[in-house]
Amino acid sequence: MITSTRLPAVRLTWDKALVGLVVLTFVFGALTQPRFSRGSNMSFILLDIGEIMIIALAMTLVIITGEIDLSVASVAALSSCVLGWTFAHGLPMPVAVVLALVTGMLCGAFNGTLVSRLGLPSLAVTIGTLALFRGLCWALLGDTTVANFPYSWTKLGSSDIPRTYIPWVAPLLLVLIVVFTVLLHLTRSGRWIFGVGQSAEAANFAGIPVRRVKRRLFILSGGMAGLAGVVYTMRFASARPDGAIGYELLVIAAVLFGGVSIFGGVGTMWGVVAAVLFLGELRSLLLLNNVPPNALNIINGGLLLTSVIVPALVARLPRRRPRLPGPGTESPAQGVPELLPSSGAAMRT
């Protein structure tokens, strides 16, 4: 009896393509710019994307539920200002850091309460709190800058682990990536998040506490923004009311470019991580080639539009129905890559 060996179907999703794009960008940068692949530049990339990665991990969960948080940059700045103000008024550094993290969580709880308890749209709520929290930064510090932090703390945000090119923030990022990946894809809470994003009404009928899930995610988003504010303060060794301006757009661009649907219910954590790494590589490559900083804003806007347009175009492509293979024949659809928007761990049963 002659049996045919059939190749498994190759399913190329957007998030998997992004992982390949990160590798290709690194190879291209190493071949075209000698300084790109140096250890010092790799350290710079990790430092440069640190706050974006931290905020993006939590933002991914929020957007998958069909909500959005535009206030994250203002929360990070307010946490930074609280850290600087409390330290300048004599509190020990560890206490000031804890208060900064608590500030972020309180801001997230405020957003979450307005969205989940009052049923207000998160877009409108977080646009308002974006301005509110930024105004509190100016009320707290005014035009002053706190910059007398201990070097033992600031070196954690701006230097490498001794005898390596690994910045101190890298282990923190690695731990957070693992935790958020497990949370989203391997836990019941992650299945609840996908369920809420696919249909909040159906999730409610299925017994998922929709309002509680959303409120906790906003608190988590605020807490991660507060942590990003601490990392930001340590990296620049200063606390200013105009810190982290524009970070919310960078975060949202990375999350959407990573394959997360703006309508909710679709996305993977590794896609977002790959998107942030790609943006970091691209930014470093442009800076090494003396591209003006304003061009970076154009590129970020272009990627944001691309992340919305491409999945919509892919969804409209006609799908060819697979033919049933006859005896001893191969299916024409087998082994052919198909580019699909990533769905992550959507509602496993």
pLDDT digit string (tens) for 286-334?
889 888 767 777 877 787 787 677 766 766 777 655 555 555 444 444 4
Q: Is residue 348 pLDDT above 50, yes or no?
A: no
pLDDT digit string (tens) for 21-60?
999 999 999 999 889 999 999 999 999 999 999 999 999 9
Structure token pair of residue 158: 């701006």
For residue 15, name the pLDDT band (cuts at 50, 70, 90).
confident
pLDDT reported for residue 100: 97
Q: Is residue 273 pLDDT above 90, yes or no?
A: yes
Give residues with Cβ within 8 angstroms of 123, minimum separation 6: 68, 70
Q: Is residue 345 pLDDT above 60, yes or no?
A: no
For residue 16, name the pLDDT band (cuts at 50, 70, 90).
confident
Q: Is residue 220 pLDDT above 90, yes or no?
A: yes
pLDDT reported for residue 336: 38
Q: What is the DSSP letter of 146?
A: B
CATH number belonging to the domain at 14-19+38-311, selected among 1.10.3470, 1.10.238, 1.10.10, 3.90.1200? 1.10.3470
* Residue 239, strand partner residues: 146
Mean pLDDT score of the chain: 86
pLDDT reported for residue 344: 47
DSSP assignments along 197-262, one per residue:
HH-HHHHHHTT--HHHHHHHHHHHHHHHHHHHHHHHHHHHT-B-TTTTTTHHHHHHHHHHHTT--T
d(CA 43, CA 163): 13
pLDDT digit string (tens) for 112-146?
999 999 999 999 999 999 999 999 999 999 888 99
8 A C-beta contact, residue 43 and residue 167? yes
Q: Is residue 226 pLDDT above 50, yes or no?
A: yes
Domain spans of the chain, in order of start: 14-19+38-311
For residue 157, name the pLDDT band (cuts at 50, 70, 90).
confident
Provide mean pLDDT across the span 264-285.
92
For residue 343, name the pLDDT band (cuts at 50, 70, 90).
very low
Q: Is 167 helix (H, G, I), strand (E, B) or coil?
A: strand
Q: Is residue 349 pLDDT above 50, yes or no?
A: no
pLDDT digit string (tens) for 70-113?
999 999 999 999 999 999 999 999 999 999 999 999 999 999 99
8 A C-beta contact, residue 259 and residue 266? yes
Q: Is residue 10 pLDDT above 60, yes or no?
A: no
